[in-house]
Structure 1
Amino acid sequence: MFFSIIIPLYNRPQEIKELLSTLCKQTYMQFEVLVIEDGSVNDAKAIVASFENKLDVKYFYKENSGQGFSRNFGFERAKGDYFIIFDSDILVPSDYLEIVKDYLFEHQLDAFGGPDAAHDSFTPVQKAISYAMTSPFTTGGIRGNKKHIGQFHPRSFNMGLSREVYEKVGGFILTRLGEDIEYSIRIHENGFKIGLIPAAKVYHKRRTSFKQFYKQLHFFGRARINIYKHFPSELKAVHFFPAIFTLGLGFAILSNIFYKPLAYVCNFFLLLYFLLIFFHAWQVNKSIKIAFLSVIASFIQLTAYGFGFIQDFVKRVLLKKRD
């Protein structure tokens, strides 16, 4: 089984260096790497070239078109039996391809995804963000979880598909705003089998600051409405939770200003919820500091996603405006 690893890249030369370094350590070496530089100003050509004696790696530079269409550019040039998509901000465990190969031989999936986790080298903020995106007490718990809700939709930071899927379904038709979920839905609709490979995890850095994390999650909230516009049935009750939390938070703030008796009730439940997150994060990461930061990260995740969701729900669903 031969894999083609496709990595879109935009102004992140240091990230691709770290990612390629982990790919050099794979225990299964039947793969090529295609790095697609998506119109970057700060390109990584020299860095990628430094790996040519260690990996079967190819570098392409193209005009900026976004991550989805950059992956299509890689699909068109890939030689593998399976295409694996990575984001540039991940680290890959040395046994990743070995795990995927063995699982695919046994289960014969047409497309797959894997979970993500925090690496020991990550900063406390990165570990807190990772917790917020994977915790059962935030919406992140449905990502890469064995007990996912409804159909499993691989996410593009860790996603694979067979050449047969690409030849029948084609590539991405969206380049951003939920393009991976839209693609997964079309793969499902064409009768292909998609599954989670639980052990095929990657270490996902995500964002290095809470400000960057807020921007990313606000974008994710908007992306969910974009998916809804293409596939209305894919908007589930769980997707409303961050918006409900955000509206509830606003209600709690108003209660503290105008009606104290109700404010006491709101404050009690908010405190209880964040204490639950704190103690669970403390148990997971064995660090009080990361537990405290995890409360902040969870708050940012819910409100940023909630604001993005509400913004585009009002604009595109209620008012029926287009971007």
Structure 2
Amino acid sequence: MKFYSVIIPVFNRPEEIKELLVSLTEQTYKHFEVLVIEDGSERKCEEICLSFNDQLNIQYFYKENTGQGFSRNYGFERAKGDYFIVFDSDCIIPPNYFQIVDTFLLHTPLDAFGGPDAALDSFTTIQKAISYSMTSFFTTGGIRGGKLQVGKFRPRSFNMGISKAVFENTKGYIITRMAEDLEFSIRIEQAGFKMGLIPDAKVYHKRRTSLKQFYKQLFFFGRGRINLFRFYKNELKPLHLFPALFSLAFIFWILSILILPLLFKIGAIVFGLYFTLIFIDSLIKTKEIKVAILSIATSFTQLFAYGMGFMKESTNYILRSNSGNS
């Protein structure tokens, strides 16, 4: 039996970690340990973690704030498993997750893997809409773990596993924020390790609970894409420009109300058709009309925020390059 180490970095989210730990107590495959890494939080989750001592093989660590990437490294260094699995603290894990992973690895050995995310029926309407927009082909191209996706699969750290050998070879994350998981996945791939998607190893990802929080998160993601560009110039693909083009097109469309009325009408038709497709797709997938309606707002927020973050960090990169500091 393989032994797994679950690494969970936490920052000021004690209310989330309890749901995650409860879901881990319900696993059908029990051969794993849990390491919770408190990343300098003011709102600690130590008492919650200690309350699971009789249900889980769990360890709690508190350290100074260094960001999620280096907090995962902290866990990797102390883990005893054959594989290290990283979850975000806002995830809930289906009872058969480890059984699915273990069975898959038995027949298809992988050095690193990831799985998709989904929404539970108990999630709020906005959480379901955010989950849709973060996994939809119409907004992300399916690059976040779905079976249908553009380009090669690379695990994301909300649901990611690596072998002990991968960590020993790569030494883990070398950046702690802003696309740190993609940089890590690329380096694993370049080291020659076998990486793949386990389609059925999904997690339920609660994500943000308001459009404001969601905007901040996606703005940060947009900046992260340019941060990744600093390390790997060839990783910036045409697909990644879409949110920035969307943001620019939307701004120009709004400005055209007064100066180019015909263009405004054309833009209204184009945007209307695009968001109608999103509404229909969301309705088919979620079967909830409220979620489908809100998916229009979350999809717009996702694209616009990512695009604005992308453009902000692009500007910073150009300014640094011109000053010789990049």
TM range (shorter): over 0.9
The corresponding residue for 1:82 is 83
The corresponding residue for 2:170 is 169
Asked if structure 2 preserves the Cα contact closer than 8 Å seen for 1:126 and 1:208, the reply is: yes
- Give the secondary-structure state (helix, strand or coil) at the position aligned to 1:200: coil
The corresponding residue for 1:291 is 292
- Give the secondary-structure state (helix, strand or coil) at the position aligned to 1:138: helix
- Give the secondary-structure state (helix, strand or coil) at the position aligned to 2:43: coil
Q: Aligned pair 1:226/2:244, yes or no?
A: no
The corresponding residue for 1:6 is 7
Structure 1 segments, 4+ long, off by >4 Å, are none
Asked if structure 2 preserves the Cα contact closer than 8 Å seen for 1:139 and 1:242, the reply is: no
The corresponding residue for 2:36 is 35
Distance 1:263 1:46 in 2: 56
Distance 2:61 2:138 in 1: 41
Output aligned runs, 1:182-221, within 5 Å. 182-221=183-222
Asked if structure 2 preserves the Cα contact closer than 8 Å seen for 1:177 and 1:223, the reply is: yes
Amino acid at match of 1:76: E
Greater Cα offset, 278-287 or 197-206: 278-287
**Root-mean-square deviation (Å):** 1.2
Asked if structure 1 preserves the Cα contact closer than 8 Å seen for 2:143 and 2:153, the reply is: no
Distance 2:284 2:176 in 1: 38
Asked if structure 2 preserves the Cα contact closer than 8 Å seen for 1:99 and 1:199, the reply is: yes
- Give the secondary-structure state (helix, strand or coil) at the position aligned to 2:73: helix
The corresponding residue for 1:306 is 307
CA deviation map 1:242-278 (0-9, x unaligned) = 0011111112112212111111111110111111111
Amino acid at match of 1:222: R
Asked if structure 2 preserves the Cα contact closer than 8 Å seen for 1:132 and 1:140, the reply is: no
1:149 Cα deviation after fit: 2.9
Q: 1:319 to 1:247 in 2, by over 3 A?
A: farther
Distance 2:142 2:119 in 1: 14
- Taking structure 2 as the reference length, what is the TM-score of the superposition? 0.97
The corresponding residue for 1:255 is 256
Distance 2:141 2:92 in 1: 20
Q: Aligned pair 1:50/2:81, yes or no?
A: no
Distance 1:142 1:165 in 2: 23
1:140 Cα deviation after fit: 5.7
- Give the secondary-structure state (helix, strand or coil) at the position aligned to 1:309: helix
Distance 2:61 2:21 in 1: 15
Unaligned runs of 5+ in 2: none
1:105 Cα deviation after fit: 0.9
1:319 Cα deviation after fit: 5.4
Greater Cα offset, 168-177 or 312-321: 312-321
- Taking structure 1 as the reference length, what is the TM-score of the superposition? 0.98
Unaligned runs of 5+ in 1: none
Asked if structure 2 preserves the Cα contact closer than 8 Å seen for 1:133 and 1:140, the reply is: no
Number of residue pairs the alignment of both structures matches? 323
- Give the secondary-structure state (helix, strand or coil) at the position aligned to 2:137: coil
Amino acid at match of 1:295: I
Distance 1:149 1:268 in 2: 26
- Give the secondary-structure state (helix, strand or coil) at the position aligned to 1:18: helix
Distance 1:194 1:138 in 2: 24
CA deviation map 1:209-242 (0-9, x unaligned) = 1100000000000000000110011111100000
CA deviation map 1:153-191 (0-9, x unaligned) = 100000000001111111100000000000001100100
Asked if structure 1 preserves the Cα contact closer than 8 Å seen for 2:12 and 2:43, the reply is: yes
- Give the secondary-structure state (helix, strand or coil) at the position aligned to 2:142: helix
Distance 1:122 1:260 in 2: 41
Asked if structure 2 preserves the Cα contact closer than 8 Å seen for 1:113 and 1:195, the reply is: yes
Output aligned runs, 1:113-152, within 5 Å. 113-139=114-140, 141-152=142-153
